[in-house]
Amino acid sequence: MAQSLQLPHDETPRFGPLSWLLLLSRATFITGHLAFKAITSLPPSRREGLSFHEYVAYEGMRDYQCGLDAVGIQQLLPPTITTCRRYARRHKIPLADIRLPDGSVAAWLGPRKPERGVRVLFHGGGYMAPALPQHLDMAHGFASKPPEGAALVVLGYALASERRNYYPTQLRQAAWLLEHLLHVEHVPPASITLIGDSAGGHLLLGLLLHIHHPNPAVPPVAVEGRFAGAALVSPWVELGDPSLSSEKLPGGRRDIVTPDSLAYWARNLLAGAEADPWNSPLSAPREWWADLPVEDVLVTYGGAELFRDDVARLGEVLRSEHPRTTTVVACEGEIHVHMLMNRFLRIGKPCRSEEVFVRWLEGRSGGEDVKRASMSGILI
């Protein structure tokens, strides 16, 4: 692995002065409209049980997602690899890169010979937004500093927009990354824990199915044995409109994602591609789930998120076909990827999904059998 990180050659299109002016004007308008909504929400009766901060934060997430296109969001947020570089510098941990065949990059953070295994992160963001610092915090169990003896690998997959990086580009990059870890770095599968949230969870599902049932457009991955675990945090299971698109969700709140933004992100990714088992996992034959190359599977989702019913269906399939080590936890009142949004939006409330995820993650590190056994009773 080389020691300097560079951005993938096609990660973010460059903006000229006029494009920047239009983007900043649009962002300013959205911010002004959000400020108006914040003022009109001062009476508690208009916030449907949310605190003022929660209301403004959730409204802001929805407004920016709906008001900005994919390329605009990519201009305003630092690329995934830049975020990894800053994270490594802040925590004073080693950083190197993995260069994939198409020029895209994954970041290796931490020791080269980790005693506590390797965690591989596929971040969320609708396939069009880069990783946030909180994604890396999540992969490290929200610890104040990265755990000693553990390495984290983050895939900086190509971000989709209206005109570039269509499916199955990201699945192809994920397959190359696993192939590299297994057969170049020689990391045994039993030392690898896979983590994916939202769109990253969708990518992880497609990758797990691809290993024993290869997508013909994606390089195969030879895996001897099983991965230590796979955590699916509010995975985006079906790219079509979610079943709760027009319903008010429990607790008087609506999710931070909207049906319109989800449909836009799906169009950007698929570009007219038909549904198949790797981009629409619930259409895969049920027997495909019985031979997943992974020991322990964790699925968490919120009772107040748009994906609730889709993820519940995924959980039923996993518990039926991969029952030995599957844990499914539905957290009432929580929104999409609540553990991450709770920190990114500085809500700071107790978060059950985070507690469950951290316990599960600790049980995958260094073969801590006692912690692993403690998870066996969680099944909701």
pLDDT value, residue 366: 52
With contact defined as beta carbons under 8 Å apart, do 194 and 229 qualify? yes
Same domain for 187 and 329, yes or no, is yes
Indicate whether 240 belongs to any domain: yes
Indicate whether 1 belongs to any domain: no
Which residues of the chain have a pLDDT value below 70?
A: 1-13, 241-253, 365-380
Indicate whether 349 belongs to any domain: yes
* pTM of the predicted structure, to 2 decimals: 0.91
Tokens at 1, concatenated: 């692995």
Same domain for 45 and 188, yes or no, is no
Indicate whether 287 belongs to any domain: yes
Structural domains counted in the chain: 2
Same domain for 171 and 27, yes or no, is no
Domain stop point among 25, 42, 76: 76
Same domain for 51 and 82, yes or no, is no
Domain of 231, in residue numbers: 78-377
Domain stop point among 51, 76, 101: 76
Residue ranges of E strands in 149-236 = 151-156, 192-197, 227-233
Which tens digits make up the pLDDT trace of 189-199? Answer: 999 999 999 99
Tokens at 282, concatenated: 């619930």
Indicate whether 351 belongs to any domain: yes
Residues 336, 307: Cα–Cα separation, whole Å: 8
pLDDT value, residue 45: 82
Same domain for 90 and 237, yes or no, is yes
Same domain for 131 and 238, yes or no, is yes
In whole angstroms, what separates CA 155 from the centre of its chain? 11
Same domain for 138 and 30, yes or no, is no
Domain stop point among 76, 93, 110: 76
Same domain for 303 and 371, yes or no, is yes
Residue ranges of E strands in 77-226 = 95-99, 105-109, 118-122, 151-156, 192-197
Which tens digits make up the pLDDT trace of 131-154? Answer: 999 999 999 999 999 999 999 999
Same domain for 178 and 126, yes or no, is yes
326-331 β-sheet, strand order: 95-99, 105-109, 151-156, 118-122, 192-197, 227-233, 294-302, 326-331
β-bridge partners, 95: 109
Helix (H) or strand (E) holding 319: helix 308-321
Which of 178, 188, 212 shows the shortest CA–CA distance to 289? 212
pLDDT value, residue 145: 92
* CATH number assigned to the domain comprising residue 223: 3.40.50.1820
Which tens digits make up the pLDDT trace of 290-337? Answer: 999 999 999 999 999 999 999 999 999 999 999 877 889 999 989 999
Same domain for 273 and 162, yes or no, is yes
